[in-house]
């Protein structure tokens, strides 16, 4: 228990530091985008704003998660992370649309960009996002690990800005700024929409992608003394922690000790499939279940 508490405290500290680094730089980046007249920097600023929201929510949820479950939220507070992911997604989509409305017209009418200013911000962007990613690199929190991967994507985006800014120092191909902005925004939207589909599936309590209900029922039926099973349901709390409930029908001569053994086998089987919450209802074959289809 003390080890878990220590890991939770470390995760809070790491996420807090990464949040302030990222959010502080996002504000600077928004100023820099207008100052340098670079839509590429503005597009990445919107992306970083979404990252800041994600980091902030992850930071708060890391604190909230230590509360565990209570009478109101019997499964705990893990599902709140979905709400945070949805908010971040909507921010990124709205920001991307705004950036595209500025970048697309510049394809036809390119505007000069402050190449030296872009270069300075690109270097700062690589350093700040790199420090934030390093801070989260060894975290035990899943939220922090995912945030670190997201920050690594930001580093790659700033490397691209760095390359374009160096090019603009020696040429006047200002259209490169708009092209880079559209590419960054397109990649962001592609990933956001893909993640949005996953979020909505979890919200709608779809079975986790790697879980097949029919396959689970076949494994349950293969257990000695189990005659059949029904009313099997699988869903996910937050995309990582899954729930399984099922009704199994047992041989009428099954003893109490055998029932305990069967439930142990089922729970071990479920845990091997990464189910965090398991409910098994046992019935005898000569009794009718009101829940049965």
pLDDT tens for 235-244 read 888 777 889 9
* Tens-place pLDDT, residues 118-164: 888 889 888 887 887 777 666 545 455 556 656 666 777 778 788 88
Question: In this structure, are residues 30 and 42 in contact, taking their beta carbons and an 8 Å threshold?
Answer: yes
pLDDT at 247: 92
The candidate with the shortest Cα–Cα distance to 57, out of 147, 132, 145, is 147
Q: Where would I find the H helices in the chain?
A: 2-36, 39-64, 80-108, 115-136, 142-170, 175-203, 213-221, 256-272
Buried b (16+ CB within 10 A) or exposed e, 88-102: bbebbbebbeebbee
Give SS3 for 248: strand
What contacts 164, CB < 8 A, 6 or more positions away?
40, 118, 176, 177, 180
Give SS3 for 38: coil
Phi/psi for 240 (5° steps) reads -125, -35
- State which fold the 213-284 domain adopts: Alpha-Beta Plaits (3.30.70)
pLDDT at 6: 41
- Compute the distance between CA of residue 42 and CA of residue 122 in angstroms, rounded to an integer: 12
> Considering only 34-48, 78-92, 136-150, 165-179, which range has the smallest mean pLDDT?
136-150
The candidate with the shortest Cα–Cα distance to 198, out of 81, 94, 57, 43, is 81
Query: Which residue ranges make up each domain of the chain?
Result: 2-203, 213-284
* Tens-place pLDDT, residues 206-225: 888 888 889 899 999 999 88
187 burial (CB, 10 Å; 0-12 / 13-18 / 19+) is middle
The pLDDT mean for the chain works out to: 79
Q: Rounded mean pLDDT of 223-237?
A: 89
* Tens-place pLDDT, residues 38-66: 777 777 787 778 778 777 876 787 677 66
Q: Which architecture characterizes domain 2-203 according to CATH?
A: Up-down Bundle (1.20)
Band of pLDDT at residue 177, cut at 50, 70 and 90: confident
Residue 40, Cβ neighbours under 10 Å: how many? 31
- Compute the distance between CA of residue 122 and CA of residue 83 in angstroms, rounded to an integer: 32
Q: Which residues pair with 229 in a beta bridge?
A: 248
pLDDT at 4: 41
């Amino acid at each position: 228990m003390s080890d878990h508490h220590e890991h939770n405290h470390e995760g809070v500290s790491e996420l807090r530091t990464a949040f302030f680094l990222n959010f502080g730089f996002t504000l600077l980046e928004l100023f820099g985008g207008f100052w340098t007249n670079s839509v590429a920097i503005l597009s990445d600023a919107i992306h970083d704003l979404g990252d800041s929201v994600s980091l902030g929510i992850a930071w708060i949820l890391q604190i909230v998660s230590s509360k565990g479950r209570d009478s109101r939220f019997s499964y705990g507070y893990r599902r709140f992370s979905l709400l945070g992911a949805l908010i971040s997604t909507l921010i990124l989509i709205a920001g991307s649309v705004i950036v595209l409305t500025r970048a697309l017209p510049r394809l036809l009418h390119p505007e000069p960009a402050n190449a030296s200013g872009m270069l300075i911000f690109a270097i700062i962007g690589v350093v700040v996002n790199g420090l934030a990613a390093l801070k989260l690199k060894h975290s035990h929190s899943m939220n922090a690990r995912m945030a670190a991967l997201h920050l690594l994507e930001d580093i790659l985006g700033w490397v691209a800005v760095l390359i374009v800014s160096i090019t603009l120092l020696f040429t006047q191909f200002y259209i490169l700024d708009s092209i880079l902005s559209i590419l960054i925004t397109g990649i962001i939207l592609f990933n956001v929409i893909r993640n949005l589909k996953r979020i909505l599936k979890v919200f709608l309590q779809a079975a986790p992608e790697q879980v097949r209900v029919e396959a689970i029922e076949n494994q349950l039926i293969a257990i000695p003394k189990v005659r059949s099973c029904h009313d099997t349901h699988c869903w996910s709390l937050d995309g990582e922690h899954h729930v399984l409930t099922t009704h199994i029908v047992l041989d009428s001569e099954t003893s109490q000790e055998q029932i305990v053994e069967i439930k142990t086998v089922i729970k071990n089987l479920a845990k091997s499939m990464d189910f965090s919450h398991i409910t098994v209802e046992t019935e005898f074959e000569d009794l009718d279940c009101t829940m049965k289809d």
